[in-house]
Amino acid sequence: MINLETPRKFRAFVNQAHQVAAEMLRPNSRRYDLAEHEYPVELDMLAAMVDGLGASGTGSGAGAAGVRRTEGTEDTGVKNGSNLSSVLSIMEMSWGDVGLLLSMPRQGLGNSAIASVASDEQLRRFEGVWAAMAITEPECGSDSASIRTTARRDGDDYIIDGEKIFVTAGGRCDAVVVWATLDKSAGRAAIKSFVVPKDTPGVTVERLEHKLGIRASDTATIRFDNCRVPAANLLGSPDIDPGKGFAGVMQTFDNTRPLVAAMAVGVARASLELTKDLLAEAGVDIDYDRPTHRQPAAAATYLQLEADWEAAHLLALQAAWMADNARPNSLEASIAKAKAGRTANDITLRCVELTGTLGYSENHLLEKWSRDSKILDIFEGTQQIQQLIVARRLLGKTSAELK
C-alpha cells in the first residue's frame, strides 16, 4: 500500500532538489523568460551535479530521466523507486522554474522514452545522450496514431522522412526520439520510436518557436529528409503486431505523464505559496479551523484551490508508485495528468485574480507561472485526450469503439 509521506531514502535528495530550485532556478526564472532562446549556461553545472548524484547512487530519478519500469520480479514487497523519485524531484524543480527544468541537459522527455522501452544494450549505448521527443506533426496533434512520418527498412538501416513540430529542447539536444510509422496501412501497430542523433545527415532544425510560456526552453520544428539511422536505434520490437497495437510505444506515456503531472503540481504549489504570503500582507487571514462560508471570499477561494492541488499531488504520486511496483498504470497516469494539468491552469490564473495588480504585473512571478502552466495541460496528450483515454479504460472500450 502506498505511503503518502516522502520515503525516508528520498528525503535528502528531495531537499537538495528544492535547494537547487530556490537558489539557482527561481533567481534566474525571469531572466531567461525575457531572453527567449538564450541558453541557460547555469544548467551545465546543475547537469554535472545531477550526473554525479546518479553515478553515486544518491540521485536516482533526477530530472526527467530514470523512469524504467521493473518487470517480472518475484519480490512482492512495496518499492519506492525511480518513478516516485523522479516525480518528487520534478515537483521541487518545477517549483523553481519549469522552463529551466525542461532545458536541463540529458534530462529530456526523450530520455524518459529511452528509459521506458530501450533494451539494456541501448541503455548503455545512449547513456549520457540528451534526447528530445518528437511526436507532434503539422497534421497530427493529440491523435498519435495518425502519425505520417515514415520509417522505411533498407538493409541494416531505417530511412526516416517527415516533419515534427513543437519538439521540446529540439534545438539543443544531442538526439531526438522520433515516432514514425513502418506501414501507414497497418495503423497503430506500425508506430515505432527511433533514436536519431541530431548530426545525422538529413536532420534539419527548421526554426525555434516563440511561445506563451516555458520560454527558457527551446521548442523546435525538425525536418527529416532521407535520414538514415541504424536498425539498432529502434526502441522496442520491430514487429508489427495488430493484436498488441502500439502498446510498447505508448508505455512511454505511462511513465512521462506522471512527470508532466509533477511539473504542474510544482508550478501550482509555487503560485499558492506566494499568493498566501501576499494575501497575508493584505490582511486576509486563512483560517483552517473555520468553515469556508465564515471566511473572506479570497480565503474561501484559496482553500478550494489548495484542496484541488492536494488531489493532483496525490494522483501524481499514485501513478508513479504504481509504475515502481510494476502495476499497470495507464489509467492512473492519464487521470493524474488530466487533473494536474487542468488544476495548475486553474490555480495559477485564480492566484493572479486573487492578488490583483500584484499578480498581473512583473513584480512577482505569478503572471509567468500562469503562462507556463498552460503547456502542462497540452503536451503529452491534451486534457480532452486524457479524458477520452480514461473513459475507454473505465468502460472497457477500444479506440475504434469510443472516439
Catalytic residues: 380
Contacts of 88 (CB under 8 A, 6+ apart): 6, 10, 13, 14, 17, 61, 262, 317
* Strand runs labelled E in 231-350: 234-235
Q: Which three cell numbers stand for residue 46?
A: 546543475
Rounded distance, CA 180 to CA 173, Å? 19
Q: Taking a C-beta distance cutoff of 8 angstroms, is the pair 171, 228 a contact?
A: no
Pairing of strands 175-181, 131-134: parallel
Rounded distance, CA 101 to CA 242, Å? 37
Rounded distance, CA 216 to CA 265, Å? 19
- Cα torsion for 50, 52, 55, 58, to the nearest 10°? -70
- Residue showing cell 540529458: 106
Which DSSP symbol is given to 70? P
Nearest to 113 by CA among 236, 220, 268: 236
Under DSSP, is residue 143 helix (H, G, I), strand (E, B) or coil?
Answer: coil
Compute CA distances 266 → 120, 212, 319, 327, whole Å: 32, 19, 16, 25
Q: Taking a C-beta distance cutoff of 8 angstroms, is the pair 137, 147 a contact?
A: yes
φ, ψ of residue 221 in degrees (nearest 5) = -105, 130
Rounded distance, CA 383 to CA 369, Å? 19
Q: Which three cell numbers stand for residue 170?
A: 529540439
- Residue showing cell 547555469: 42
